[in-house]
Structures are given as C-alpha cells and as structure tokens.
Amino acid sequence: MARRLPITLLAALTFAAALSVTPAHARTQQPGTGPGPGLENCTAGVCHFDVPPGTYDVRVRLGGEAAASTGISGETRRSLLAETPTEAGEPVTRSFTVNVRTPEGEPTGPDGTAGLDLAVGGSAPALAGIRVTPAAGRHTRQIFLVGDSTVCDQPGDPYSGWGQQLPQYLRKGISVANYADSGESTVTYLADPRLFATVRPLIRKGDLVLIQLAHNDKQTDEPTYRANLETLVAGVREKGGRPVLVTPVVRRWFNSDGTLNNGTALLVNGLGVDHPAVTRSVAAAHDVPLIDLTTRTKALVESLGVEGSKALYLYDEKRDNTHTSARGATAYAGLVRDELLAQGLVPERLVR
C-alpha cells in the first residue's frame, strides 16, 4: 500500500496544478481609480518593468473585495509565488526576489524579452498593487543552478524543471539564478562557454551553487564523470561559492514488483557508471554538502505507485518518463527546499 503524502506536499501539488491550468487574468485596479501602486505597468494579467539585468525585490499586494487566489510567475515560466488564497476584504502582502538576465531562460536559448515580466495567475487572481526595486547587493543571497533539462527553466508547457519551481519556496532576500540547460552532461557543461564559463564569474562569496548533472552522461566513463564533478566543485570554491552536489531525479521506470528499475530509473549508464553513487562519493571525499535527490524522488515515486506517479512526469502527454510536469517539478523542488533547510544551507527566515 502506498504511504500517505505529507499535507504540505499535497498542498504544493495542488497549487502547481492550479497555476499550470489557469489563464493569467488579474482583477487589477486601473490607474487613477483607487489604490494600486505599480499597476500602470500591468495589462491583461502581465506586468512589465523596463529594468536592466540584475536582481530585484518584488512586493505584491494580493486580494480585494471578494475572496481570491493568486499566484505569480515570471520570465520564462518561473514560479515565483505559489497560489495564495485571500479572504474577502483582507488583502495580504508578499515579497520575493527575482533574477533578471539575458537569455532569460536556458543559457543556450533565445534572449527572451528585455526587462522583467511577471504573470498573474491562479484560480481567482486579484492583484491590488506591485512594486519592483533593485535588491540590496550585499544583503541578497543567490542560488545558482547547474543542471540539465530536469532542472532548467523549460520554455514551453507542459514541461517544467524543478529549478523553475524552486523560487516559490523562497522569500525576499534570496534569488534563484537557473543556469541549467537542456541536453547537457558534465562534459558539455564544462566545454560550452555559455555555461560554466559564464556562471563562474558571477559567483560571489557565500553563494550556493547546486550541481545536478547525470542524465546526459550516457557515454561518460566513471573517471571522467568523477573528474568533471570535481572540476565544477573546485571552480565554485575558487570564486568563494559554496558547491552543493545533487544526485539526479529518478526516471519513472518500474519493475514488476512496484520498485524502480536499478539501471534506467536510478541513472546507471550504459557503461555501468552509477551516477548517484559517484556523486555521493565525490561529495564525501571533498566535504561537499549533498542533496540526495535520487533517494528522495525514488521514495516519492514508489509511494505513489505505477499509476499515481504518472502525474509527476509527462507520461500522459508525451509518454515521457524522464521529464517532469509542473506538478512533479513542484514536488521535487519542495524536496530540494526541505534539504536546503534541514542542512542549514539556507536560513529558515528565507524559506516558505
């Protein structure tokens, strides 16, 4: 029998499902008709701010005369604020910090639109005010993400990487700079100048750099895979950053007994390289914090079973057992958030 999911995880999955299917049409105040600072930047549920690349604090006021439920996404479909219910006549204020850059999504993808674009969504959206200001540099922490298509800011629905969903779990004062890119291995991430060579100069002292690369290392032998992880760790540390190794999310491939396949599902490549095991070994050898996302996602997928776990992936839409839906990416981002908090990598005051 599948074990019951925690209430917090079920809530996160519900919010993700609502945000992914509801058009963004905000019931916003019009300029000059009453309270609503910043709403002159909003049209048809999208708020545009003409700002240069950088890190920005966003403060929103949600709610109105009627009960509402509002979430905020931005740039390339990043979930910045989970759907937030408000009672009639009882608006609330929420704040978060967002990274603005070019390209705005995957590092090897299109530039996207200049400035900051925020989309208002949810089952009954109501935005009463919005303010965008530059983040105070020395007080703002950054989490850089180095990864593949299971992590990246996916440009099109129904795909979503867990890094795309992580910002909704963080408060003002910490931003996610997602430099994960589809199709990348440890080999290509180091070789392409748009990837690690671009990320590394941006790292400041104390910044976290979460590294999850394995899905595309299908032909990478163990010595090379290990050496590449060590190169990434050393490169982060040389800039004063704090590397965190993340074992890869599982693929949804079941055995007949309801457990996940020890090869394909658990990321053992055609050369017999056990990517999660090597990642754990490198973390232990070099005193690097480890988020064992393979173990955590395995437990979740197996608890949901063959049928229940389909919703975490794109099985129904694409017969895809590798890439996650918004629902699955939100659940997996929640697991990352839990580990960041449990290991003291991010202070509790900055986590939702």
Q: Label residue 136 by pLDDT band (50, 70, 90).
A: confident
Tell me the per-residue pLDDT of 304-329, one tens digit each, with 9 for 90 and over.
999 999 999 999 999 999 999 999 99
Q: Using the predicted structure, report yes or no on whether residue 108 has a pLDDT greater than 90.
A: yes
Please calculate the CA angle 337-21-3 and round it to the nearest 5 degrees. 50
- Asked if 70 and 22 touch (Cβ cutoff 8 Å), the reply is no
In sequence order, what E strands does 183-335 have?
208-212, 242-246, 290-291, 313-314, 320-324
What pLDDT, on the 0 to 100 scale, is given for residue 20? Answer: 36
Identity of the amino acid at 47: C
Q: Using the predicted structure, report yes or no on whether residue 84 has a pLDDT greater than 50.
A: yes
Helix-, strand-, coil-residue percentages of the chain, each rounded to 5? 30, 25, 40
Tell me the per-residue pLDDT of 40-83, one tens digit each, with 9 for 90 and over.
999 999 999 999 999 999 999 999 999 999 999 999 999 999 99
- Asked if 192 and 185 touch (Cβ cutoff 8 Å), the reply is no
Higher pLDDT, 112 or 7: 112
Q: List the beta bridge partners of residue 290.
A: 245
Q: Rounded to whole angstroms, how far apart are CA atoms 178 and 346?
A: 17
- Asked if 165 and 200 touch (Cβ cutoff 8 Å), the reply is no
Q: Rounded to whole angstroms, how far apart are CA atoms 250 and 178?
A: 20
Q: Rounded to whole angstroms, how far apart are CA atoms 23 and 254?
A: 35
CB atoms within 10 A of CB 174: 23
Q: Which two tokens stand for residue 213?
A: 């690369």
Terminal CA-to-CA distance of the chain, rounded, Å? 31
Q: Rounded to whole angstroms, how far apart are CA atoms 61 and 150?
A: 32
Q: Using the predicted structure, report yes or no on whether residue 137 has a pLDDT greater than 90.
A: no
Q: Label residue 26 by pLDDT band (50, 70, 90).
A: very low
Q: Rounded to whole angstroms, how far apart are CA atoms 151 and 106?
A: 10
Tell me the per-residue pLDDT of 207-257, one tens digit each, with 9 for 90 and over.
999 999 999 999 999 999 999 999 999 999 999 999 999 999 999 999 999
What pLDDT, on the 0 to 100 scale, is given for residue 22? Answer: 33
- Between the alpha carbon of residue 106 and those of residues 16, 165, 349, the distances in Å are 21, 14, 29
Fold of 7-346: Rossmann fold (3.40.50)
- Asked if 155 and 78 touch (Cβ cutoff 8 Å), the reply is no
Tell me the per-residue pLDDT of 247-274, one tens digit each, with 9 for 90 and over.
999 999 999 999 999 999 999 999 999 9
Q: Which two tokens stand for residue 229?
A: 């992880």
- Tell me which long-range contacts 227-232 makes (C-beta under 8 A, separation of at least 24): 228/186, 228/187, 228/189, 228/190, 229/186, 229/278, 229/279, 229/282, 230/282, 230/286, 231/190, 232/146, 232/186, 232/189, 232/190, 232/196
What pLDDT, on the 0 to 100 scale, is given for residue 9? Answer: 45
Domain map (residue ranges) of the chain? 7-346
What pLDDT, on the 0 to 100 scale, is given for residue 140? Answer: 87
Mean pLDDT of the chain: 91
What pLDDT, on the 0 to 100 scale, is given for residue 36? Answer: 62
**Residue range 116-135: mean pLDDT, rounded:** 97
What pLDDT, on the 0 to 100 scale, is given for residue 185? Answer: 98
